[in-house]
Structure 1
Amino acid sequence: MSTAPSTELAVLPPALVPATVFAPGGVETILTKLEADVRTAAKDLDISTDKGRKAIASLAYKVARSKTALDDMGKGLVEETKKQVALIDADRRVIRDRLDALKDEVRKPLDDFEAAEKARIERHEAGIADIQAMPLFSGERTTDDIAARLAEAQAVDTSGFQEFMARAEKAKETAVATLTAALENSRARDAERAELERLRREAEERAAREEAERIEREKQEAAARAAEQARREAEEKARREAEEAERRAASERERIEREAREAQERAERAERDHIEAERRAEEDRKAAEERARQREEAAARQERQRIEDERKAEEEAQRRREADRTHRATVNKAAVAALVTAGLSDAAAKTAITAIAKGSVPHVAIAY
């Protein structure tokens, strides 16, 4: 049996420094050497003897202590690093807060100006939208409503719209023109309705008068016929016996009943004719109102389409102006760069290009 190696193995090198241990590759170097030393020491220990078993237990205990020592080193280094990180983070927060405040302080005049400019533009845009909406009504509108709105549109003051004055004046002109046309149409419809009402009343009065005349005429004719019949009956009465007189009386009753029925039928026919005349007059009135409504809707559709076409044309013109300004700025910038390359200073180059662009340099122009 071989002699067991010493169990007094020094597992960790003396005077280890945490910064050295946890430097790149440091842990791997220590662990590799520790593994090699421990395995070499454990290789020849005899597990069958009490001494060998105690030596193995002692060696394992030393490995455990080495693990604890290395872990404690790392833990202490982490805590120290965390303290340094906390100090750095605190400084970072101070940097962020103070420089953000400085940025806000420096930018505040610009932000205030931009906010005021945006509010001003929005105020003018809203004013133009209000003018454009003046021809629009919600619900029913009377001629007086349209006249009042027209007066309101004519009284609009566009002098305070600054650079938007041209658009405001155009919107006012359009609103006044639209309301003027609407007022004329409404007055025409009022006159047409009044004329239809007059014609209806005249038709009713004429029908009633004609019916009264017809009834009176029929009464007179019936009276004349009755008088003639009475005369004939009187002449016959002298020649006939009592039974003939009775027959005449029966015949007379039948005649009177027949005439009464005929008169009733005529009265019913006259009532039907009166109702038919009213129905035709009502149909004519509704047809006239429908034609007026259709004309009004067509005019409104045309106006809405015209307003939309003008809006699109304005947007396209604005887009083209922006594109032209961008293109000119690009060309001018390239020209300035070329002059600088040719030897001019930046300020002199910009002054020259500005003068050429304004047409102040004879026989020289920029091709855009």
Structure 2
Amino acid sequence: MSADQQLAVVPPQETALSVYSTPNGLEPWLQTVRAEVDAFNRVLPELTTAKGRQQYASMAHKIAKTKNALDTLGKQISAEQKEIPKKIDAERKRVWDTLEAWQKEVRKPLDDWQATEDKRTAAHTDSIQRIKDMVLFAETPAAAAVAKIIADLELIALDDSWDEFLAKAAQAKDQTLAKLRSLHTERARHEAEQAELVRLRAEAEAQAQRDRDTQIAREAEERATAKAAADAQAERDAAAKREQDLIDQAAARQRESEQAAREAEAAAELQRRQLQLQTEQAQLAAEQAEINRLAAEQRAEQQRIDAIQRQAQAVEQARQDEIRRQNEAKAEEERQAKAREADKAHKAKINRAALDAFIAGGMPDECARQAVTLIAQRKIPAIAITY
């Protein structure tokens, strides 16, 4: 930026960071600009001329250019400062990765040895565990299977290949062999007992079968003997039954004949009794009809008499009611007449008192009478006589 376009030269690059990072570090540059502004204000151009107005615009433009130049330099310095942490982090990472690689390089022989050692000890540990697991079974084993495992276990050699695990391997082998041999003894004894039980059951079943065969033969012979005896008895029973049937048939025919005679006699007797019963029932019906007729006539006569009596009673009741009504009406008329007379006398007494009061007050007799009459007839507004 040329000097004629700005009022102050920006700080040089080598001192710019120090100037911008110092509080009020740009104050000298501001004072330089202020001096130019003050000088301009002391001799102000004429606004009435184009040249004068151009000078105003030129001064403002120079201030703007100076402002932009100082701000641009500050932004540049700030951007450069923001890149510094990134550069620091990149260098840190490079150093870390390098030293990490060197660390692994130095430790690799140890790690390789440790891995080999871990693999070796794990193999021995697994082998010892397999020896211990040889006594474990998913289900109860047969004696032969246990013997096979014992033989396999005895073939496992205990030598220097076990290294420091030789003692543990020997202990595991001895303990497992002891358990397996104990189990083998137990299973062998159990299987022998089971075999003996099977033999005994077989013998018992054979003897039972022989007993059943003997029983079957004996029962067959007994059934044959019984059948022959039963057949003979059946024949005898059949002959006796045939003879008895003939006797029973003759007796039945005799009974049927006697029964028929009895039934005929009973039927005749029943018919005679039915005829007699019908005759008696007809006679009773005639007698009952006569009784019913007489009773009906008596009821009709009684109803007629009752109706006459009720009519006479009704007429008498009506006559008595009329007499009572007339008496009550007459009594009411007399009461009302007496009440009217009493009311008339009462009003006359009140009116007389009012008349006397008017006369006593100086009103002439005729006027007093006229006044009382008008008041009694309610022809005088707002004035009334209370009776």
Taking structure 2 as the reference length, what is the TM-score of the superposition? Answer: 0.46
Flag the structure with larger Rg: 2
- The structure whose RCO (Cα within 8 Å, separation 6+) is larger is 1
**TM-score by structure 1 length?**
0.48
